[in-house]
Chains A and B, each alone.
Chain A
Amino acid sequence: MALELRQVSKKVGADTHIHPTSLKLESGGFNILLGATNAGKSTLIKLLAGLEKPTSGEVWMDGENVTGVTPQKRNIALVHQFFVNYPHLSVFENIASPLRVAGVAKSEISDRVQQAADILQLGPMLQRRPDELSGGQQQRCALARAIIKESKAVFLDEPLANLDYKLREELREQLPDLFAGRGAIVIYATSEPSEALLLGGHTALMHEGRITQFGPTSQVYRLPVDDISAVVFSDPPINTAEVTKSGDTIRLNEDVSWVATGDVSALADGAYKIGIRPHFVSPLSDMAGAVEIRGVVQITELSGSESVAHFKVGDQTWVSLAAGVHPYKIGQEHIFNMNPRACFYFDADGKLAATGGAHG
């Protein structure tokens, strides 16, 4: 099973919502669209699902051009951020509705509804109406409807965004199992980098109507192709700074420099932008080859298990993230240890030019 965009674009009036995009998605594992609000995730889903017609380009499904074909004829399922159920029907009838539309025999419907309800832990609630359910149960009802019809493609557009944090965690864990072995292509849109990592599979990073990178999720995370991709796939936000390379020396400012590592020494001398994720900037000095950076701590955040410090280096703000509790003093200078091997080096166009060696 495959779903493919061939040079698909979408314009609304003079605004380009999606720049010409080619993408091939396959079944087995999730396909994640990761990007900020307005990056184009929902538009891309609508184009893939046939809810919107591309301005140019073609959509192919299973070797067939489906560009003008309506969603009804494509055998797909959609789950939105807002829980969409039929309010006047029982949970049973809500889950059964796609089968009724497809003309499945009554006896079979009952079995399949029961099965889907069991998987989603809705068994005891089949006779209730959606408004008698909690938010998590309502969204599970929508998910049950999506899995019951054995669709070729399932689109999940930020399905957990309106749920409680813990509930989100629970459902997120169940989702991959829910679709495993069904042969459907699963497309999942999210604005949260951690969600993409938790779900695994493949990830397409989106920014301003373009896909900046697509590949296996952990690979995309560890090796961003450009500075934008690095920003899109970092939470907490990645630190960036200007450096100059001269021979084997990389210089951040008057006080801080380090020796080039990895394939950095092969770069031409000149100015580069580095990107380094906050967990490679630590208040602890237990890292071999670490570079000391002094900064005045502005804000600290303790989550119990981790400490975050925002500190100023010159006029730039850096963020450090470390396990455990660290006694920072606001307004005072602290020493942080940055691992230069975990740096990404971007050229003037923002393209990845080299890494420090440890893909971070």
Chain B
Amino acid sequence: MAKVTLKNLKHSYYPNPSKPEDYALKEIDLSWDDGGAYALLGPSGCGKSTLLNIISGLLVPSEGQVLFDDKDVTQLSPADRNIAQVFQFPVIYDTMTVYNNLAFPLRNRGVDADSVDKRVREIAEMLELSEMLDQRASGLTPDNKQKISMGRGLVRDDVNVIMFDEPLTVIDPLLKWKLRSKLKELHLKTKATMIYVTHDQTEALTFADQVVVMQEGEIVQIGSPVELFERPSHTFVGHFIGSPGMNVIPCEVKDGSAFIGGDRIEVEGEINPVADARTEIGIRPEFVSIGKKGIEAKVRKVVDLGRHIVVEAVVGDIKVNAITDDRNITSDDIVHLSFAPKYTRVYANGWIATREGV
């Protein structure tokens, strides 16, 4: 397994890119440690697939370098990079048995029969496929097929990195749960460097130690799931991560304080000078409480999610969500919202503009 470094990567699908919009990837600098679990998270069109294709060698970047450990692999073909990939749709041979499917990547590399057998059985055990080794792959359920796909990715222990491209998108929620924890377990057991690409925040956050959030060809934030959740550095990250996402409420910054309407809002710490920037308060629904004090709001909708309740209220014409356990709130109620100062931040032109409180 290897450390993966991306240096000054830029990519454009146009022959002569001139303006920033011409680039699908704008300027990517990243390094991923050997043995880590990483995720690339972002909406369709954010550049995550382009980045993945550059790492796997399907695409040569317009500028910059890809390094595996200290070796420059930028110009190498996928076959010469020694990597494994698992795709959204299971890639397996329907006519072969499960055993032969798992053995294929090893036999392809000329591994001797005894070692193949040992490794295939080991991987099958981890994936709970041992009982099915002699079955043909064609008759299996979608989740078992995807397990074989994963198994084929994991079976070689000499690969530099294993990449997963939306591997659970077509899997049912309950099975998704099982496969997700399986993958997590496999990472603990194999210590392989894994890169997981998805638009699904839950998958990214639960799988990875570190998540790279992308938007429009750029990295917006790199952090642990907790960092991304608790202190988004951009309103996009706040919105994209969390369900519902972070509330973003226009505010006015005067003499170092933030105001919504006439109400002064206590925030996490000192506010940086914001000049003429567009300023907003960012606060997650989890940290909004409904009580007797605070900003007046009207309840528009109450959604019972079983575990908790999401109250959608409006302050003026701005929507603010709050998560609560109070089952007595109903539509059209007039309520008062208060924000936990530790989790209340000011954003200027989208970027965080408060300093962390002490």
A residues with CB within 8 A of B: 36-37, 134-135, 164-167, 169, 191-194, 197-198, 200, 218, 221-222, 231, 235-237, 277, 279, 298-299, 301-305, 308, 310, 321, 323, 325, 330
For the complex of A and B, the 8 pairs showing the least CB-CB separation, nearest first, are A304-B229, A301-B206, A164-B199, A304-B225, A303-B205, A165-B200, A302-B225, A218-B304
Closest Cβ neighbor of A331 among chain B residues: B188
Closest Cβ neighbor of A194 among chain B residues: B305
Q: Any chain A CB within 8 A of the CB of B44?
A: yes
Q: Tell me whether B44 and A164 are in contact (CB under 8 A).
A: yes
Give Cα A310–Cα B199 distance, bound, in whole angstroms: 24
Q: Tell me whether B172 and A191 are in contact (CB under 8 A).
A: yes
Give Cα A193–Cα B306 distance, bound, in whole angstroms: 10
Tell me if B's interface is mostly helix, strand, loop or mixed: helix
Give Cα A222–Cα B304 distance, bound, in whole angstroms: 11
Contacts of A222 in B (CB 8 A): 306
Least CB distance, B183 to chain A, in whole angstroms: 10
Partner of B177, one of A236, A279, A330: A236
Give Cα A164–Cα B46 distance, bound, in whole angstroms: 12
Q: Any chain A CB within 8 A of the CB of B76?
A: no
Q: Mark B150-188, 1 if CB is under 8 A from A, else 0.
A: 000000000000000000000011110100110011001
Give Cα A54–Cα B142 distance, bound, in whole angstroms: 28
Q: Any chain A CB within 8 A of the CB of B132?
A: no
Q: Tell me whether B43 and A169 are in contact (CB under 8 A).
A: no
Q: Tell me whether A37 and B142 are in contact (CB under 8 A).
A: yes
Q: Tell me whether A235 and B229 are in contact (CB under 8 A).
A: no
Q: Tell me whether A299 and B185 are in contact (CB under 8 A).
A: yes
Q: Tell me whether B307 and A279 are in contact (CB under 8 A).
A: yes
A-B pairs with beta carbons under 8 Å apart, 23 shown? A36-B174, A164-B199, A165-B202, A193-B173, A197-B305, A200-B303, A222-B306, A235-B174, A236-B177, A237-B174, A237-B177, A299-B185, A301-B180, A301-B184, A302-B225, A303-B202, A303-B205, A304-B225, A304-B229, A304-B242, A305-B284, A310-B181, A323-B286
Contacts of A192 in B (CB 8 A): 173
Least CB distance, B238 to chain A, in whole angstroms: 11
Contacts of A194 in B (CB 8 A): 305
Give Cα A303–Cα B202 distance, bound, in whole angstroms: 6
Residue with the greatest number of chain A CB neighbours at <10 A, chosen from B43, B181, B188, B230: B181
Known contacts: A37-B172, A164-B43, A298-B185. The answer to whether A305 contacts B242 by CB under 8 A is yes
Give Cα A229–Cα B229 distance, bound, in whole angstroms: 33
Known contacts: A166-B240, A191-B172, A200-B304. The answer to whether A302 contacts B177 by CB under 8 A is no
Contacts of B180 in A (CB 8 A): 301
Give Cα A251–Cα B242 distance, bound, in whole angstroms: 38
Size category, B interface: 35 or more
Closest Cβ neighbor of B206 among chain A residues: A301
Contacts of B174 in A (CB 8 A): 36, 231, 235, 237
Known contacts: A191-B172, A198-B305, A279-B307. The answer to whether A303 contacts B177 by CB under 8 A is no
Q: Any chain A CB within 8 A of the CB of B226?
A: yes
Contacts of A236 in B (CB 8 A): 177
Q: Any chain A CB within 8 A of the CB of B228?
A: yes
Give Cα A140–Cα B155 distance, bound, in whole angstroms: 42
Q: Tell me whether B177 and A304 are in contact (CB under 8 A).
A: no
Other A-B pairs, 6, CB within 8 Å; known A197-B304, A197-B305, A200-B303: A165-B199, A167-B43, A169-B245, A302-B224, A303-B229, A308-B206
Give Cα A304–Cα B199 distance, bound, in whole angstroms: 16
Q: Tell me whether B304 and A302 are in contact (CB under 8 A).
A: no
Give Cα A200–Cα B243 distance, bound, in whole angstroms: 17
Q: Any chain A CB within 8 A of the CB of B250?
A: no
Least CB distance, B296 to chain A, in whole angstroms: 23
Q: Tell me whether B306 and A218 are in contact (CB under 8 A).
A: yes
Q: Any chain A CB within 8 A of the CB of B78?
A: no
Q: Mark B202-219, 1 if CB is under 8 A from A, else 0.
A: 100111000000000000
Q: Any chain A CB within 8 A of the CB of B12?
A: no
Q: Any chain A CB within 8 A of the CB of B201?
A: yes
Contacts of B185 in A (CB 8 A): 298-299
Contacts of B177 in A (CB 8 A): 235-237
Contacts of B43 in A (CB 8 A): 164, 166-167
Closest Cβ neighbor of A217 among chain B residues: B304
Residue with the greatest number of chain A CB neighbours at <10 A, chosen from B200, B303, B307: B307
Contacts of B244 in A (CB 8 A): 169
Closest Cβ neighbor of B188 among chain A residues: A330
Contacts of A235 in B (CB 8 A): 173-174, 177
Contacts of A221 in B (CB 8 A): 306
Q: Tell me whether A197 and B306 are in contact (CB under 8 A).
A: yes
Least CB distance, B141 to chain A, in whole angstroms: 9
Contacts of B202 in A (CB 8 A): 165, 303
Q: Tell me whether A302 and B205 are in contact (CB under 8 A).
A: yes
Contacts of A330 in B (CB 8 A): 188
Contacts of A237 in B (CB 8 A): 174, 177
Q: Tell me whether A198 and B303 are in contact (CB under 8 A).
A: yes
Least CB distance, A83 to chain B, in whole angstroms: 13
Least CB distance, B224 to chain A, in whole angstroms: 8
Closest Cβ neighbor of B227 among chain A residues: A304
Residue with the greatest number of chain A CB neighbours at <10 A, chosen from B174, B207, B225: B174
Q: Tell me whether A165 and B181 are in contact (CB under 8 A).
A: no
Give Cα A152–Cα B134 distance, bound, in whole angstroms: 51
Closest Cβ neighbor of B46 among chain A residues: A164
Closest Cβ neighbor of A177 among chain B residues: B301
- Chain B residues numbered 39-79 whose CB sits less than 8 Å from any CB in chain A: 43-45
